[in-house]
A and B are shown apart, each in its own frame.
Chain A
Amino acid sequence: MQDFAEPFRLALALVTAGDADLFEIIALSLRVSLLAMAIACVLGLPLGALLAVTRFPGRSVVLVLVNALMGLPPVVVGLIVYLYLSRSGPFGWLGLLYTPTAMIIAQVILITPIIAALSRQVLEDLHTEYAEQFRSLSVPRRTVISALVWDGRYSLLTVALAGFGRAVAEVGAVIIVGGNIDHLTRVMTTAIALETSKGDLALALALGFVLLVIALTVNGLVMALRLTAGRHVHA
C-alpha cells in the first residue's frame, strides 16, 4: 500500500456515506463494550472498594491475584467461555454461543479485574486520606465504602474508561465466542481482523480509524464531564 492517505479518505467516505453495515457494526461494538463495562463496574467497584478498606489474612495474595488478572489473555478467556457455552459445555443449553451476550460475558471476565484493581488503588489512596477522620466519626463500614466511591467518582470514571478501552479494542475473545457473524456478532475489531485476512488493508485501516475516533469521542466526553463537574467539587 503506497498511499497512506487512502485509509483516511476511505474512513471518511464510509462515515459520510452513512454505510448501514458500518453503523450496524459500530452500534454493536458500542452496545457490547458499554454493557460489558457497566456490568464490570457493578461487579468490580464494590470488590475494589472492599479490598481498599478491609484488612484480612491473605489480602496481599488476593491483591496480587486481582492485579495479575488484569493481564488475562483474551484468547484464553474466549476459549474458556467457549468451552462453557458450547453445546457440550455446562451452559450449552442456554444457546448463548455466537451471540452478543456471549461476547459481553467474555468482555466482563476480561475487564472486571481491571476495574477492581484500579478502583482498589484509587479508593485506597482516598481512604488513607479519610481514614482517621472516619474513625473519629465512627463511620460504619458500609457508609465508608459509599462515601469513598462517591468522593472518588471522577477518578473512578477514568477507571471505567480503562475498562471500556480494553473492551472496545478487544478481538481475541469476542471472535472466539461471537464468531464474527455478519449482521449478528460482527464488531469493529472482528471486522478489522476479517478485512486484514482478506487482504483489504485499506478498509481494515479505515475501520481502525473509525474505532479510534469512537474511543477518542467517548474519552473526550467523559473527560469533559469530569472537568466540568469536578471543578465544582474539588476546586
Chain B
Amino acid sequence: MSMHEPARQMNLSHSRESADTPRLPSLLPIRANGVVLEIDGNRLVDAIDLELSADKLTVLMGPNGAGKSLLLRLMHGLVAPSAGKITFDGLAMSDEVRRRQAMVFQRPVLLRRSVAANVDFALKIRRHASPAERDKLLDLVGLLDRAKQPARALSGGEQQRLALARALATEPDVLFLDEPTASLDPHSIELIEQIVLLAHRQGTKVIFVTHDVGQGRRLADEVVFLHLGRLVEQTPAKRFFSDPASREGKAYLEGKLVL
C-alpha cells in the first residue's frame, strides 16, 4: 500500500448536518500578524507574520526551541499572544472558533476510561454521539477490536491513534498535530500519516509539526520553517526540500547544527 493511500477508504465527515449550531464560514485562511509570545522576559515567538490557506497540508519544521509547538498552541488559542493577532477568515479566536479546531498533542492525554468511551466523550461534546459514529472512527484508526479495553493500556502508537480518532470525532475544520509520531514505531507512523492525509484530502486543514525530514517530505505541501522563534521561510514543499531559501533551512536539511 502506498503511503498516500488511506488504510481504509472512509469518509471522515459523519453528521455535520445534525449539529445544532449553525456553521460559521470557513476558518481559512489563518493569518498571523506580528505574533509575539514573551514569557518571563524571554521572547519565545518573535513577530511572526504568516498566512495559511485551505488547500495545502502545512508542515511546521525547525530545530528544538524554534517555537513550533508554541505557534501551534497560539493558533489553537491555548496560549494568548503577548502581541499581535491571529485570525481565522477574519475571525478572532473564540470558543466557537476553537470548537471547530482540534489538536493532537505529542503526549496524548487519554481519559481513564475505555477506548470507546474516550471517543464517545468527544462525540458527546459535539452532540452527535452514536455507537455507529464511534465504531467508524475506531475502525479508521484500527482500534475497533480494542474498543472495550482501558485506553491507558494501549501501546504508545495505539494511544496516539486513539487521540487522533478523538480529534477527528469533533469534525474539525483545522487539525493541529504536534509531533504526533515522535517516538512511535514505523507501523504506527504509517497509519497516522495515512489518516492525516485522508483528513487533508477530505477538506480538513492540517497543520503538522515534525522534526522528521522524511516525514516532512511525505506529508507536506508547504513547509513553514522556524528558528529561534522566528519564521525563517514559508516555502512549497518541493522547493524547500530541494533548494531551501534560507541558510538555516539548508543547514537543517543537511543535518548540520543550526545555530
Q: Could you list which residues of chain A lie within 8 angstroms of chain B, going by C-beta atoms?
A: 129-130, 132-133, 135-140, 143, 147, 150-151, 232-235
Query: Which residue of B has the minimal Cβ distance to A140?
Result: B125
Contact indicator per residue, chain B 72-111, by CB within 8 Å of chain A (1) or not (0)? 0000101000000000000000010011011101000101
Residues from chain A with Cβ under 8 Å of B241 in the complex = none
B115 to chain A, nearest CB (A): 11
Taken together as a complex, chains A and B put the C-alpha atoms of A232 and B170 apart, in Å, by: 26
On chain B, which size bracket covers the interface? Answer: 20 to 34
Tally the A-B contacts, defined by beta carbons under 8 Å. Answer: 48
Among A136, A138, A139, A151, the residue within 8 A (CB) of B113 is A151
B10 near A: Cβ within 8 Å?
Answer: no
Taken together as a complex, chains A and B put the C-alpha atoms of A123 and B38 apart, in Å, by: 30
Residues from chain B with Cβ under 8 Å of A235 in the complex = 149-150, 152-153
Residues from chain A with Cβ under 8 Å of B112 in the complex = 151, 233-234
B192 near A: Cβ within 8 Å?
Answer: no
Query: Which residue of A has the minimal Cβ distance to B169?
Result: A137
Q: Is the CB of B125 within 8 A of A139?
A: yes
B27 to chain A, nearest CB (A): 14
- Chain B, range 163-202, C-beta contacts under 8 Å to A: 166, 170
Q: Is the CB of B150 within 8 A of A233?
A: yes
Given the known A-B contacts A147-B111, A151-B111, A233-B112, are A136 and B102 also in contact in the complex, defined by CB atoms under 8 Å?
Answer: yes
Query: Which residue of B has the minimal Cβ distance to A129?
Result: B109
Give me the 8 closest cross-chain CB pairs, A-B, nearest first.
A235-B153, A235-B150, A133-B109, A151-B112, A138-B99, A136-B103, A233-B112, A138-B98
Taken together as a complex, chains A and B put the C-alpha atoms of A132 and B69 apart, in Å, by: 13
Q: Is the CB of A138 within 8 A of B78?
A: no
Q: Is the CB of B121 within 8 A of A138?
A: no
Residues from chain B with Cβ under 8 Å of A132 in the complex = 78, 105, 109
Taken together as a complex, chains A and B put the C-alpha atoms of A140 and B98 apart, in Å, by: 13
